[in-house]
Amino acid sequence: MTVRVGQGFDIHRFTDDPARRLVLGGVRFDGSRGLVGHSDADVIAHAAADALLGAAGLGDIGEHFPDTDPRWAGADSLVLLQEVAAMVRDAGWRVGNVDCSVVCEEPKLAPRRAEMQDRLSAAAGAPVSVKGRRAEGLGALGRREGIACWAVAVLEASG
C-alpha cells in the first residue's frame, strides 16, 4: 500500500475590528478577537487543507483559493477543506487522518475541542485531531498577536 504524508501550516494575526469573529476548526468563539484574513481566517482548517494538498502533490491552498479572488472573500474554511478533500479523492487518495497542533495563548481550545474535531472530520471525510499549545509568552504568538497551526496529513492510495 502506498502512503503519503503532507505538512501544512497557517498563521493569522488578530484584528481589532469588533465585527470580525474568531473561527477555529469551524467553531465560532464569541467574545474573542477575530483574525485577519481574506476568508474566515480559520487557521486550523487552512493548515489541514494545506497538509492534504501537500500529501497529494496538489500544490497549496493559495494556488487553489487565492486571496486575490473575490469568490473566496469571507469564505467558510470548512467548505474549502471539503473541496480539498474532494480534490485529494479525485487524485486517487484516501485520507487516513489529519493531526493539528494549534499555538495560541487565547482562547482556551479544550472546552471546544470535540466540536472542532467533529466539524473538521466531517469536512475532511476522515479523523482530524486538534491539540492546543501555548507559546509560554515567547514571540508574537506568546504576546497574543495571533494564532498559528501546524498540521500533518496521512493519505493512502485508494486503488
Contact predicate 5/56, CB 8 Å: no
For residue 17, what is the domain's CATH number? 3.30.1330.50
Number of domains in the chain: 1
- Tell me how far apart the alpha carbons of residues 64 and 136 are, in angstroms, rounded to a whole number: 34
* Domain residue limits at 79: 3-157
Q: Within 13 Å, how many C-alpha atoms sit on residue 113's CB side? A: 13
pLDDT tens, residue by residue, 92-144: 999 999 999 999 999 999 999 999 999 999 999 999 999 999 999 999 999 99
pLDDT, tens digit, 9 for 90 and up, residues 137-150: 999 999 999 999 99
Q: Is the peptide bond before 111 cis (omega within 30 degrees of 0)?
A: no
Check pLDDT > 80 for residue 159: no
- Asked if residues 156 and 2 have their Cβ atoms less than 8 Å apart, the reply is yes
